[in-house]
A and B are shown apart, each in its own frame.
Chain A
């Protein structure tokens, strides 16, 4: 009977996510002024789908087949998660006046997938993840307050960039190695990745500089400092972050200048830089070799990517069914490779839909940037959206062997305190920009 439930659940999960995306898309089109739907109904349906997915998944992961009983701790975590899905949205909407409910829905859906997958992989990690999620949302609630406390924060560009360099250089000096990159700092038992904090500082820095018209001088200074930052990251072997920073710079520069030639020559410089990095650094060559033919070196360099492809391939379109695959054979499965585990057990159709949810999130983020009248905030929203989008693309593309693998986390889904905090805070800034714009529009109406 349990086997039947698992089997049927594969179809249910696809139905849930498809209905979610349908309603999300309806909301987006509506927001863009192309159609007229009921906002509330779309959002309510999205939330219902998340809740149904959560219930279905927890009925499966909490069942112990050998003992024929349900595990009470897992059910309790499941209940806590369900409460979060139902309440989280309303709380977030109360704190962020004018935050987009679709974004909150997408975020909660992704976080829920993360918790489900982690319960299935390693229950302790799932509990920790849930705690981090709560910490993240708690921190987020203070965000509007903090932004108010620093009224002129667009004028602090020098502070941002100096802090950024201090953090990156301190990692080089004090950092310890994890998965081949030197990007962690340990203070006592507490560890964090400075490059993750630099993400915020860097976006604020660029937005502060780009808020006025970009002259040659600003361009040269930002290009030089960004280049230096990227090179330092490459030296730390943190190729993923280096790429994310570089692409974010290009996108923000392009939005600020609307200069296609600049953007394209930036891409050209990236190719050139990659070629140089390829010939200079052996760790780059190893990554590229593992991407071009992982099977040739399946014992060492290609091992991770091959195990990931085995999981994706064996799972097939519908997946093995939750708990019926072997995702634990994938290295770093709870962090970088969690997408492969989702592909294996939920199936490729579901995984493609999950990419669709990321797309909804990023398109909505870009729409907020598009609508925002104040240039500074518009660039911030675009910057955070682009940064998350590139990170998502890098890791999904790497895990499926579309592009060489760079070890970054999948926003909202991978396990990890830093990753979760940064993802939630990034999205909060986008939400805050949306709230700012809505308030501005209301004031405009009132003044008339």
Chain B
């Protein structure tokens, strides 16, 4: 009889532990997983908004109001204030939600000190108001980038090197967030995908900007990279795959610095056969391909699909950024940011801070290092090569009178129409402040990615003088 009493006691303790686990797990969900969990297009609560309270504003870094709510007798309605150039970032609400309107829905709807605010409305008739979200983007830079891109489709991203904050994120073509609900039938199936934020979600063939990765892999896997040279005849055949240089240009005998500056496809194809598919894939994975970098808005994951069974033609195509490789403009901006920041990739962010009804900042984003993807030595070598690109190579259009730009161009062949034009880089090279990534879809010559990059860097560096 005694033994069974002891057993009952022990079983009781086991039950208590089981339920304590449940309680502990609930606390874990609420304190750690909550935000990542509930911002999901499958969560129907995202689409419900209470129009009896004033949804918070969305503002740019200087406080310019991009989105606000206005009182009408039927309840609050959402208004957008000249926000077309930031439309995919700000997003929309009404016909579903997108952009910051979706990602920060619960913040914009969160009524700080709700009890106090409701009592105050009951007594004094003041508004009950959600929290305001301040973004890191600058509306002036958004307007400038949109202007520079003209009618081209594509994206521009400007990131601050030391923090990873995104000062500019433009995607073209654009739409008017104010009339999304009315234009919904036209917009939702539009072949131009205006609603898509190309900067963070658009997957593009990188073309020659991928040579940054191939170069890093060569530095890591070959002992005598600088002694390696190739005689470029404008084209070369690899395992039934003919690789051409741009316009079949003959570059002659080059080392890696020349080849990087000239964006020589033959050289990089040759060097990739020295590196091997597995090693190149490994370097790409170390540089966060196939995992991607988290962001406040939805992102697509960049991918490289090499493996031990890849053929030589797949390998050489990948090494020059063709083949199945895909990147987003935001991801390439982060790569440039890491090169400029001694290899430390900062976690890119677009929400600067959140402030409550009383103007008190309740949540401020603190920049954080996300990953160490390059060594300082590799960064120095890449920087040197990227300066040569601008000074004497394919990126001459990015050469500025005011500061030294470092960068890499790309022309990505694609099945639909003209090549995509890329420029990825940073400035000033000796003390990098801003990283930039520009892509123009099916570039028709009306705009030049290198020129846009140079002008965006100039305006970002001289941001104080804007407006």
Segment with Cβ contacts to A, from B14-22, B188-196, B397-405, B408-416: B14-22
Taking a contact as CB atoms under 8 Å apart, the answer to whether A313 and B29 are in contact is: yes
Residues B7 and A258 in contact, CB atoms below 8 Å apart: yes
Asked whether A359 is an interface residue with its Cβ less than 8 Å from the other chain, the reply is yes
The reply on A334 being an interface residue by CB < 8 A is no
Q: Which residue of A lies closest to B110 (CB)?
A: A316
Nearest CB to that of A11 among chain B residues? B115
Q: Is B295 an interface residue (CB 8 A)?
A: no
Q: Across the interface, which residues of B come within 8 angstroms of A8, CB to CB?
A: 115
Q: Which residues of A contact B19 (CB under 8 A)?
A: 355-356, 358-359, 362, 389, 392-393, 396
Option from B4, B9, B21, B30 in Cβ contact (under 8 Å) with A313: B30
* Chain B nearest CB, measured from A2 CB (Å): 10
What residues on B are CB-neighbors of A402 within 8 Å?
A: 21-22, 25
Q: How far is the CB of B51 from chain A (nearest CB, A)?
A: 13
Q: Chain A: interface secondary structure?
A: helix
The smallest beta-carbon distance between A322 and chain B, in angstroms, is 15
Nearest-CB distance from B17 to chain A (Å)?
10
Residue of chain A at shortest CB distance from B111: A7
Which residues on A sit within 8 Å (CB–CB) of B22?
A: 355, 393, 396-397, 400, 402
Q: Is the CB of B44 within 8 A of A329?
A: yes
Please judge, given known A-B contacts A258-B4, A326-B44, A329-B44, whether A352 and B15 are in contact too, CB under 8 Å. no
C-alpha spacing A164/B299, complex, angstroms:
55
Task: Verify if A3 is at the interface (C-beta below 8 Å from B).
Answer: yes
Q: Does B8 contact A (CB under 8 A)?
A: yes
Chain B contact residue count (CB 8 A cutoff): 40
- Is B134 among interface residues, defined by CB-CB distance under 8 A? no
Considering only residues 170-185 of chain A, those with a C-beta below 8 Å from chain B are none
Which of A309, A310, A389, A400 meets B15, CB within 8 Å?
Answer: A389
Q: Do B27 and A310 touch across chains, with their CB atoms under 8 A apart?
A: no
Query: Contacting chain B: which of A71-79, A278-286, A363-371?
Result: A363-371
Q: B38 touches which one: A313, A370, A389 (CB < 8 A)? A: A313
Decide: B37 and A313 in contact? CB cutoff 8 A: yes
CB of B38 within 8 A of CB of A400, answer no
Q: Is the CB of A326 within 8 A of B15?
A: no
Cβ-defined contact, B30 with A348, below 8 A: yes
Are B119 and A370 in touch, CB under 8 angstroms?
no
Q: Which residues of A contact B118 (CB under 8 A)?
A: 3-4, 7
Contact A317 B18 (CB under 8 A): no
Q: CB-defined interface of A295-336 with B at 8 Å, one 1/0 digit per residue?
A: 100100000001101101110110000000110010000000
Dominant secondary structure of chain B at its interface with chain A: helix
| Cβ B119 vs Cβ A4 within 8 A | yes
B34 within 8 A of A: yes
Chain A residues in 8 Å Cβ range of B45: 310, 314, 325-326, 329
Contacts of A254 in B (CB 8 A): 7, 10-11
B6 and A258 contact, CB distance less than 8 A: yes
Distance between Cα atoms of A153 and B25 in the complex (Å)? 42
B33 sits at the interface (CB 8 A): yes
- A358 neighbours in B (Cβ, 8 Å): 19
Q: Are A314 and B122 in contact (CB under 8 A)?
A: no
Docked pose: A279 CA to B101 CA in angstroms: 44
Q: From residue B119, how far is it (CB to closest CB) to chain A in Å? A: 7
Nearest CB of chain B from residue A212's CB, rounded to whole Å? 12
Contacts of A352 in B (CB 8 A): 23, 26-27
Asked if A102 lies at the interface with its beta carbon under 8 angstroms from chain B, I say: no
Residues in A376-415 with C-beta less than 8 Å from chain B: 378-379, 382, 386, 389, 392-393, 396-397, 400-402
Q: Which B73-125 residues have C-beta < 8 A from chain A?
A: 106, 114-115, 118-119, 122
Task: Write out the residue numbers on chain A whose beta carbons fall within 8 Å of the beta carbon of B106.
Answer: 314
Query: Which of A295, A329, A389 contacts B18, CB < 8 Å?
Result: A389
Whether A362 and B38, one on each chain, are in contact in the complex, defined by CB atoms closer than 8 angstroms, is: no
Q: Which residue of B lies closest to A379 (CB)?
A: B4
Q: Which residue of A lies closest to B9 (CB)?
A: A370
B18 touches A393 (CB 8 A): yes
Q: Does B291 sit within 8 A of A, measured CB to CB?
A: no
Other-chain residue from A7, A255, A307, A362 in contact with B7 (beta carbon distance below 8 A): A255
- Answer whether residue A115 sits at the interface, using C-beta atoms and an 8 A cutoff: no
Query: What is the bound-complex CA distance between A100 and B11, given in angstroms?
Result: 21
User: Could you tell me if A4 and B27 are in contact, using CB atoms closer than 8 angstroms?
Assistant: no
For the complex, give the distance between the alpha carbons of A379 and B11 in Å: 12
Interface string of A343-360 (1 = CB under 8 A from B): 100001001100110110
The interface centre, meaning the residue of B3, B10, B21, B26 with most chain A CB atoms within 10 A of its CB, is: B26
B34 touches A316 (CB 8 A): yes
Are A369 and B8 interface neighbours, CB within 8 A? yes
Q: Does B115 lie within 8 Å of A366, measured CB to CB?
A: no
Write the nearest CB–CB distance from A342 to chain B, whole angstroms.
Answer: 11
Q: Which of B16, B26, B38 contacts A310 (CB 8 A)?
A: B38
Shortest distance from the beta carbon of A262 to any chain B beta carbon, whole Å: 11
Residues in B neighbouring A386, C-beta threshold 8 A: 11, 15
Is A256 an interface position by the 8 A CB rule?
yes
- CA distance in complex: A379, B5 (Å): 10
Q: Is A67 an interface residue (CB 8 A)?
A: no
Which of B16, B33, B34, B44 is within 8 Å of A363, CB to CB? Answer: B16
Residue B1 interfacial (CB < 8 Å): yes
Q: Which of B1, B44, B119 contacts A375 (CB 8 A)?
A: B1
Does A1 have its Cβ within 8 Å of any Cβ on chain B? yes
CB distance from B353 to the nearest CB of A (A): 21
* A312 / chain B contacts, CB cutoff of 8 Å: 26, 29-30
* Contact call B114/A7, Cβ cutoff below 8 A: yes
Q: Which residues of A have CB within 8 Å of B37?
A: 309-310, 313
Asked whether any CB of chain B lies closer than 8 Å to the CB of A52, the reply is: no
B4:A256 contact, CB within 8 angstroms: yes
> What are the residues of chain B within 8 A of A397 when measuring CB–CB?
18, 21-22, 25
A251 at the interface (CB under 8 A from B): yes
Residues of B within 8 A of A369 (CB): 8
- Interchain CB contact under 8 A, B34 and A258: no
Question: Across the two chains, which residue of chain A brings its CB closest to B11?
Answer: A251
Q: Mind listing 14 A-B residue pairs with CB under 8 Å?
A: A3-B118, A255-B7, A307-B42, A310-B40, A310-B43, A312-B26, A312-B29, A359-B16, A362-B12, A362-B19, A370-B5, A386-B15, A396-B19, A401-B29
Interface residues of B (CB under 8 A from A): 1, 3-12, 15-16, 18-19, 21-23, 25-27, 29-30, 33-34, 37-38, 40, 42-45, 48, 52, 106, 114-115, 118-119, 122
Q: A4-B119, A316-B34, A358-B19 are in contact. List 15 more A-B contacts (CB 8 A).
A: A4-B115, A7-B115, A255-B11, A295-B40, A310-B42, A329-B45, A363-B15, A366-B8, A382-B11, A389-B18, A393-B18, A393-B22, A400-B22, A400-B26, A401-B29
9 cross-chain pairs, A with B, having the tightest CB-CB distances, nearest first: A258-B3, A310-B43, A313-B38, A366-B12, A402-B25, A255-B7, A329-B44, A313-B37, A352-B23
